[in-house]
Every structure is written in structure tokens, then in C-alpha cells.
Structure 1
Amino acid sequence: MANERSTRRHKALRAEFRQQCENRRAACHLCSQPIDYTLPKDHPDAFENDHFYPFSTHPELVDDPANFRPSHKSCNSSRGNAEVTPTLGPPSEAW
């Protein structure tokens, strides 16, 4: 089936995206905090490829790199398939 997350194509796209994120030190798109790319994949703060539009609701976008976002494993898990809630991010200074 073409929309599976376990296909060879999806794994290659996911690995390429992870490398791009690591190269530019991309932060988690959900909490805006840095991601430690050296952590093992089962660690809560490790990198995990998040689908902006969840696979469960948009299976046609599973292999679309434009739908990929860097996240912490724990942030991605806590979001589930809920919509991403935009935030202002961290303040530029303490008020």
C-alpha cells in the first residue's frame, strides 16, 4: 500500500528530513525548544518526524516532505492527531 509509514520510500524520506533538520539544528515545531539529535530514538526528547496534517486524517500526505515537521518524541506523542495550535514562541526578553 502506497500510504504506509513503513515503506522503503517513506523511511528514506524520513531519514533525509531528519538529516536536514540536524544540519540546521531545527527546533521542535510544537514547543520551539532545541532537539538533541544525539539521543536514542526511544528517549522522550529525541527527534521524531511529525506530520503537520496527521497520517490518521490525511493518509495521502504521508510521503509529502512538505508535511514533515521536526518535533520531540514526547511533544509529538502528546499532540496525537490534534491540530497544531499556533503559539507566539518564547519571549525576546523577560518582562
Structure 2
Amino acid sequence: MSDQVAGAAKPAEDGRPRADTAIPAFGYKSHISIDWRHGIIRRAKVTDAAAHDGTRLREGLIDPKNTASAVWADGAYRSAENERFLAGIGKVSRIHHRK
């Protein structure tokens, strides 16, 4: 085998694998806490795209002044730590379950 890296690049015309070109990708994620009833943004946090979603819930996304008892979130926010955190502040977890 040649010293080239086989990957997603199409093979050369002679069948030899081509090396993939590494192109760095930079991105961001927005973690947003909204008021479900009124649709206004209560809290927001921006992280790099590689940051894990689950830990962001405990980093100030839950507004303590919000009197709603339930917290709805994507399945990426579900963890035992987040469940304990929500129970500790008197919130009911409505975080989606993963498939």
C-alpha cells in the first residue's frame, strides 16, 4: 500500500487512493434558554462547536427568576448530573430521551 491516506477522496484514475486534504473547520454553538410561554430569550451562551452540550445546562442557562417548573431540552443535555442538578433546584426534567 502506498504512503497516502485512504479516506473519502475519490480514487485516482489508476485506482490508487488519494490523500484527503485536511481543511480545518471552525464553528460555534448557541445554547439558548427561552421563556416557553412568551418566546423571549432569557439566557444564552455561545461555545465552540466541539464543546459538549450536556455540561452547558449547569453553566447558568437556567434562569433562577423563571418560575416555570419544567425544563425542556434536546437529548444531548440528558445526563445523570443534569437530572440531579434540576431536581436540586426544584425543576422537573422534560429533557428528551435519545433513540
Could you say which TM-score interval applies, normalised by the shorter chain?
A: under 0.3
**TM-score, normalised to structure 2's length?**
0.25
Higher relative contact order (CA 8 A, sep 6+): 1
